[in-house]
A and B are shown apart, each in its own frame.
Chain A
Amino acid sequence: MLRDAVGAWTGFRSRWRGLLLPAFSLPLVPAAVVAAFAGSERLVAGCAIGLVLSVVAARRIRRGRVGDLNTASWIMAVGAGLAAWLAAGLGVIVPFLAAAGALFGTRMLYAELPEAPAPPPPAAPAPPSQIELARARLTRIGGVAATVPEPKLARVADAMAGVLDDLSARPERLPQARRFLAVHLDGLERIADRLAAGAAPPPRLPLLLDDMTLAAGELRAALRREESEALDVQVKVLADRLREEGI
Chain B
Amino acid sequence: MQPPRPAPAQTASTGAPLSWGAGIMLLGAAVWLPGVFAFFRAIGQLFR
A residues with a Cβ closer than 8 A to B are 2-3, 6-7, 9-11, 13-14, 20-21, 24-28, 30-32, 34-35, 37-40, 43, 46-47, 50, 54, 62-65, 76, 79-80, 83-84, 87-90, 97-102, 104-116, 119
Bound complex: CA A107 to CA B20 (Å): 9
The count of residues in chain B whose C-beta lies closer than 8 Å to any C-beta of chain A is: 40
Tell whether, in the assembled complex, residue B39 and residue A14 are in contact, meaning their CB atoms are under 8 Å apart.
Answer: no
| Chain A residues with CB under 8 A of B14 | 2-3, 6
Partner of B19, one of A31, A43, A111: A111
B residues with a Cβ closer than 8 A to A are 2-14, 16-17, 19-20, 22-32, 34-39, 41-43, 45-46, 48
With A3-B12, A27-B36, A40-B45 as contacts: A64 and B6 at CB distance below 8 Å: yes
SS of B interface (majority): helix
Question: Would you give 27 A-B contacts (Cβ < 8 Å), ordered by A?
Answer: A3-B14, A9-B12, A9-B16, A13-B20, A24-B31, A25-B32, A28-B35, A31-B38, A31-B39, A39-B45, A43-B42, A47-B38, A65-B3, A88-B35, A97-B30, A99-B30, A102-B30, A104-B26, A105-B28, A105-B29, A108-B23, A108-B26, A112-B9, A112-B19, A112-B20, A116-B4, A119-B3
Partner of A34, one of B13, B24, B39: B39
Tell whether, in the assembled complex, residue A115 and residue B6 are in contact, meaning their CB atoms are under 8 Å apart.
Answer: yes
Interface centre among B27, B37, B46 (most CB of A within 10 A): B27
